Amino acid sequence: MPKQFRVGAFDRFNNAVMRLLLRVGVRFGTFAIMTVRGRKSGRPIATPLVVFEKDEKRYLVAPYGVVNWVRNVRAAAGEITLTHGRHTEEVTAVELSPAEAAPVFRHTLQTGPPRIPRLMFKAYRRFQVLPYLDVDMTSSLEEFERAVQTHPIFAVLPR
């Protein structure tokens, strides 16, 4: 049984540092600041996320399950903004079906974020991602289809 994700002090600090670095233009792999309208407050909420790439398409993956950014994207009908330094693009995030999402989820878990050092990714995956999942790198595609029901994947499409 996987652990339930809870945002702690480390996560808040890490997100604040990543937001700051990304806003001033520091490139860190394919990380971007996703801004979405809050489902309750209606105010813009900025969250640093990895934009995964597979077969020349881009995806947002929720390895910690249905967390606040996922709920906000769903409530905003997928209308989000991605910011990389000074480059901002308005896009639509479309939630994939389990059959479409499973291969993407398996690929992202196996390969990690693009342009991130392999050793750093392996440690992060081992201690910060796998404890929250029912799957690992050797799981079957059917197991990944079950996992994406609680760990949604969004395709990033131009608006």
Angle CA(128)–CA(122)–CA(150) in degrees, nearest 5?
45
Distance of CA 149 to the CA centre of its chain: 15
Please give the tally of structural domains in the chain: 1
Residue 51 sits in a domain whose CATH number is 2.30.110.10
Residue closest to 50 by CA, chosen among 121, 100, 2, 98: 121
Answer whether residue 53 is part of any domain. yes
| Cα–Cα distance measured from residue 150 to residue 65, given in angstroms and rounded to the nearest whole number | 5
Answer whether residue 1 is part of any domain. no
Answer whether residue 117 is part of any domain. yes
Structural domain boundaries enclosing 100: 9-158
Answer whether residue 32 is part of any domain. yes
Beta bridge partners of 53: 58
Answer whether residue 2 is part of any domain. no
Model pTM score: 0.87
Answer whether residue 4 is part of any domain. no
Answer whether residue 3 is part of any domain. no
Answer whether residue 86 is part of any domain. yes
pLDDT band of 72, cuts 50, 70, 90: very high
pLDDT in tens, 101-149: 999 999 998 888 887 778 877 877 877 777 778 888 889 999 989 999 9
Name the helix (H) or strand (E) containing 60.
Answer: strand 57-61
| Both tokens assigned to 13 | 């600090």
Kindly report the number of other CB atoms within 10 A of residue 120's CB atom: 12
Name the helix (H) or strand (E) containing 31.
Answer: strand 31-37
